[in-house]
């Protein structure tokens, strides 16, 4: 369905529009306040005939979840593994079971080990290194995959490579069964090699949508003895600090509340952003109209954002806008038109008036914060 | 405050413009250089490569008083390590732009010299036997860590320092050549021998091969790819707001 959207048209909803409901959308019953689970098309389970080898994927979780970049590393291993090779995901940090195990299955993990004490927020590189070294010792993987990210995996991977003098490829932007490739000389050359022992993958090098699933069986992590002393002598973690939302570049923001043409009152949106400690974004119609600066524009001709949460308020969801939010994990739409294209993209859509829902949300947040300890 | 640091070294690589191939400073390394200069006047600036490389002139213009060049492109880690045994603090960039650009060199060096290492550093304060650093993390997060010296600090590209390019300083600064050591041929181990390069092109994404069965093809045809999540079009505004809050809580996106 490609509808050309005139940015200057008046937003209008006919009774017909409200009745027309795309077939893919499931309704939820409000009283239960539960989110409908998306049914996955039938996929086959990758079955292993007595694994003879293992591919190990190591990645930190973030707030209990495993991000897309880490899932891509798992999918890469799953695609490259043959029928006698198991894909083992070693997750550092807590794992929020119910939600996450499903995504690990979808990414093709056969077995999952979790070391909850190694949260990425705590700086403990020596402890992490000795933990993964002993896991590697006991699992004896034939290859190790890690996302080359900045929440700690890129750095931990390099410590591992240096410590064990393993063959390695970092910043890998292309991989298949026979080779890896990374950009060199500031991006003008592509350096190619055989698959090394450790592979640090750049984001979006792998299609994580697989035709099969893994079992993602949780296995008990072997007891590991961690030499704690050295780490605490060398490093003292003084804690995390979040920057104020308004100081964060939009591209780096984790929570964005974004205004479209359907937002009448930008002050309300600013209050909502403030209540959620979120950054403010906008559609092109809003920045073209000068209601917010150009730097806030999200989309093909604006910024590409990677926020965990993107609230699209009064935004129709034109393709040019959707391009800018393709890497956002949770998209929540507030729109009065149930047939707006954003509804198809959103994980949760609230059909209603932007101003009224925002006001109610601000009130609920204020209540919740008062109630919180 | 900073007199306590005995010796600071900065590692600079030779940069290259990705399109024109013109030699230039590597911005990452210049940030490390400036951070070093902010801590002390007298710093050791080290480069392994060719002393005639015009890229080095940029570092002089950026304030390096003197650059010590180890004339080698082999055994860089070993060669640098030999010059750095008495150093309290080593600063490096995150990634070079004229070699394998792997970002591995600082790790190999820190392992070799048995130094503490912190990466993605955007601020440094120096104290007597330790430094306090601010570390970059994605999504606007930062972390403060103190690190006992000796240590190696890898500077993040978003470090808040200003680079001052002053041409006249090229004449004030000097470039001197150290001697390269002869190490046995056992090469930097994490290098794969079989690397070869070709001109950059668009990388090909890895995807699972799909040999669809008839049944799968049928399934694909009838199940729409568009995902579409839950849609709430009933209830009053308070209930709708509550659904949003529940969703945010369930996915741990808010902490209240
Ligand atoms: C080359 C090109 C590049 C472009 N680049 C970008 C880009 O980078 N970024 C970008 O955003 N756009 C871009 N666009 C424009 C894009 O095609 C759309 O026109 C634009 O995104 C629409 O903005 P909107 O959704 O805010 O406005 P509209 O299309 O006007 O949609 C407003 C939405 O708000 C809803 N609404 C109205 N009133 C209310 C209310 N009271 N309560 C709740 N909902 C309400 C409506 O149902 C509608 O869905 C580009 C276009 C072109 C041709
Ligand atoms: N030849 C070199 N001489 C001095 N320092 C270097 C050299 N190559 C790399 N470095 C340093 O190591 C960092 C990471 O480089 P690399 O691991 O090659 O990506 C660079 O930002 C420099 O600070």
CB contacts of B252 in chain A (<8 Å) are 63-65, 96
Minimum-distance ligand 1 atom for the alpha carbon of A6:
19
Predicted confidence band at A102 (pLDDT cuts at 50, 70, 90)?
confident
CB contacts of A122 in chain B (<8 Å) are none
Q: What is chain B written as a DSSP string?
A: --TT---EEEE--EEE-TTT--EEE-HHHHHHHHHHHHH-SSEEEEEES-TT-THHHHHHHTT-SEEEEE--SSSHHHHHHHHTTT-SEEEE-S--SSS---S-HHHHHHHHHT-EEEEEEEEEEE-SSEEEEEEE-STTEEEEEEEESSEEEEEPTT--------TTHHHHSEEEE-PPP---S---TTS-TT-EEEE--PPPPB-------HHHHHHHHHS-S----EEE-SS-HHHHHHHHHHHHHHTT----
The domain defined by A44-228 folds into Rossmann fold (3.40.50)
Instruction: Enumerate the domain spans of chain A.
Output: 44-228, 245-370
pLDDT of residue B175: 94
For helices B76-83 and B105-113, give the axis angle rounded to 10 degrees: 50
Predicted confidence band at A372 (pLDDT cuts at 50, 70, 90)?
low
Residue B3 pLDDT exceeds 60: no
pLDDT of residue B185: 52
Structure tokens at B86: 């008495």
Beta bridge mates, A269? none
- Tell me the per-residue pLDDT of B154-166, one tens digit each, with 9 for 90 and over: 999 999 899 999 9
Higher pLDDT, B55 or B222: B55
User: By the 8 A CB rule, do A314 and A259 touch?
Assistant: yes
B96, B241, B245, B255, best to mutate vs chain A, most A CBs in 10 Å: B241
pTM, 2 dp: 0.82
CB contacts of A196 in chain B (<8 Å) are 192
Q: What is the ipTM of this complex?
A: 0.85
B232, B239, B250, best to mutate vs chain A, most A CBs in 10 Å: B232
Mean pLDDT of chain A: 87
Beta bridge mates, A212? A44
Nearest CA in chain A to B206: A206
Higher pLDDT, A197 or B208: A197
Minimum-distance ligand 1 atom for the alpha carbon of A261:
26
Instruction: Enumerate the domain spans of chain B.
Output: 8-192, 214-250
User: By the 8 A CB rule, do A182 and A152 touch?
Assistant: no
Closest in B104, B194, B220 to A158, CB measured: B104
- Tell me the per-residue pLDDT of A15-64, one tens digit each, with 9 for 90 and over: 444 344 444 444 444 433 333 444 445 678 887 778 899 999 999 998 88
Residue B172 pLDDT exceeds 90: no
Architecture of domain B8-192: 3-Layer(aba) Sandwich (3.40)
Residue A4 pLDDT exceeds 60: no
Predicted confidence band at B212 (pLDDT cuts at 50, 70, 90)?
low
- Tell me the per-residue pLDDT of B112-142, one tens digit each, with 9 for 90 and over: 999 999 999 999 999 989 999 999 998 888 9
Residue B171 pLDDT exceeds 70: yes
The domain defined by A245-370 carries CATH number 3.40.50.1980: no
Q: What is A35-94 written as a DSSP string?
A: PPPPPPPP-EE---SS--EEEEEEEE-BTTB--HHHHHHHHHHHHH--TTEEEEEEEES-
End-to-end CA distance of chain B: 41
Probe residue for ligand 2, chosen from B12, B13, B62 as the CB with the greatest number of ligand atoms within 8 Å: B13
Ligand 1 pocket check for A335: Cβ under 6 Å? yes
User: By the 8 A CB rule, do A160 and A123 touch?
Assistant: no
Probe residue for ligand 1, chosen from A288, A321, A323, A344 as the CB with the greatest number of ligand atoms within 8 Å: A321
Higher pLDDT, A231 or A233: A233
User: CB-based contact (8 Å) between A24 and chain B?
Assistant: yes
Checking DSSP bridges between strand A180-184 and strand A217-218, what pairing results, if any?
unpaired
The secondary element (H helix, E strand) that includes residue A200 is strand A198-201
Ligand 1 pocket check for A18: Cβ under 6 Å? no
């Amino acid at each position: 369905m490609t509808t050309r959207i005139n940015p200057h048209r008046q937003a209008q909803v006919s009774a017909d529009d409200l009745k027309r409901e795309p077939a893919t959308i499931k309704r939820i019953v409000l009283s239960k306040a539960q989110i409908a689970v998306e049914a996955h098309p039938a996929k086959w389970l990758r079955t292993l005939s007595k694994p003879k080898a293992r591919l190990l994927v190591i990645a930190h979780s973030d707030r209990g979840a495993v991000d897309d970049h880490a899932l891509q590393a798992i999918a890469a291993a799953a695609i490259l593994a043959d029928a006698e090779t198991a894909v083992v995901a070693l997750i550092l940090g807590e794992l929020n079971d119910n939600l996450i195990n499903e995504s690990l299955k979808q990414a093709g993990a056969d077995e999952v080990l979790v070391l909850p004490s190694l949260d990425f927020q705590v700086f403990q590189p020596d402890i992490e290194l000795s933990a993964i070294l002993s896991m590697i010792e006991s699992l004896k993987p034939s290859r190790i995959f890690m996302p080359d990210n900045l929440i700690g995996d890129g750095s931990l991977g390099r410590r591992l490579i240096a410590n064990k003098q393993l063959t390695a490829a970092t910043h890998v932007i292309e991989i298949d069964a026979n080779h890896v490739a990374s950009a060199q000389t500031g991006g003008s050359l592509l350096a190619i090699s055989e698959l090394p022992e450790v592979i640090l993958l750049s984001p979006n090098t792998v299609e994580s949508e697989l035709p099969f699933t893994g079992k993602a069986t949780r296995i008990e992590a072997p007891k590991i003895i961690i030499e704690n002393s050295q780490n605490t002598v060398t490093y003292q973690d003084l804690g995390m600090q979040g920057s104020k939302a308004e100081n964060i570049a939009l591209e780096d923001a984790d929570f964005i509340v974004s205004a479209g043409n359907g937002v009448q009152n930008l002050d309300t949106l600013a209050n909502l952003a403030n209540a959620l400690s979120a950054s403010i974004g906008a559609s092109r119609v809003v920045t073209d109209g000068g209601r917010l600066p150009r730097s806030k524009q999200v989309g093909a001709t604006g910024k590409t954002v990677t926020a965990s949460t993107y609230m699209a308020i009064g935004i129709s969801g034109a393709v040019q806008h959707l391009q800018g939010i393709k890497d956002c994990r949770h998209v929540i739409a507030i729109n009065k038109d149930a047939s707006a294209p954003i509804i198809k993209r959103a994980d949760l859509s609230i059909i209603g008036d932007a101003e009224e829902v925002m006001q109610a949300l601000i009130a609920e947040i204020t209540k919740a914060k008062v109630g919180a300890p | 405050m900073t007199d306590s640091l005995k010796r600071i070294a900065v590692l600079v690589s030779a940069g290259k413009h990705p399109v024109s191939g013109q030699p230039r400073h590597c911005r990452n390394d210049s940030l490390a250089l400036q951070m070093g200069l902010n801590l002390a006047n007298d710093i050791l600036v080290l480069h392994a490569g060719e002393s005639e490389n015009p890229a080095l002139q940029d570092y002089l213009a950026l304030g390096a008083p003197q650059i010590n060049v180890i004339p080698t492109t082999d055994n860089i880690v070993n060669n640098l390590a030999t010059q750095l045994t008495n150093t309290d603090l080593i600063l490096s960039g995150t990634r070079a732009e004229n070699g394998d650009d792997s970002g591995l060199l600082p790790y190999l060096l820190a392992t070799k010299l048995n130094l503490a290492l912190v990466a993605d550093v955007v601020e440094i304060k120096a104290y007597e036997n330790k430094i306090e650093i601010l570390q970059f993390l994605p999504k606007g997060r930062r972390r403060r860590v103190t690190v006992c010296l000796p240590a190696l600090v890898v500077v993040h590209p978003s470090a808040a320092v200003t680079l001052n390019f002053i041409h006249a300083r090229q004449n004030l600064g000097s470039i001197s050549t150290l001697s390269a050591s002869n190490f046995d041929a056992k090469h930097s181990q994490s290098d794969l021998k079989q690397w070869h390069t070709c001109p950059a092109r668009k990388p090909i994404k890895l995807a699972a091969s799909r040999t669809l069965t008839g049944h799968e093809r049928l399934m694909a045809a009838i199940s729409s790819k568009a995902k579409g999540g839950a849609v709430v079009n009933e209830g009053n505004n308070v209930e709708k707001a509550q659904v949003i809050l529940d969703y945010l809580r369930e996915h741990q996106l808010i902490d209240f």
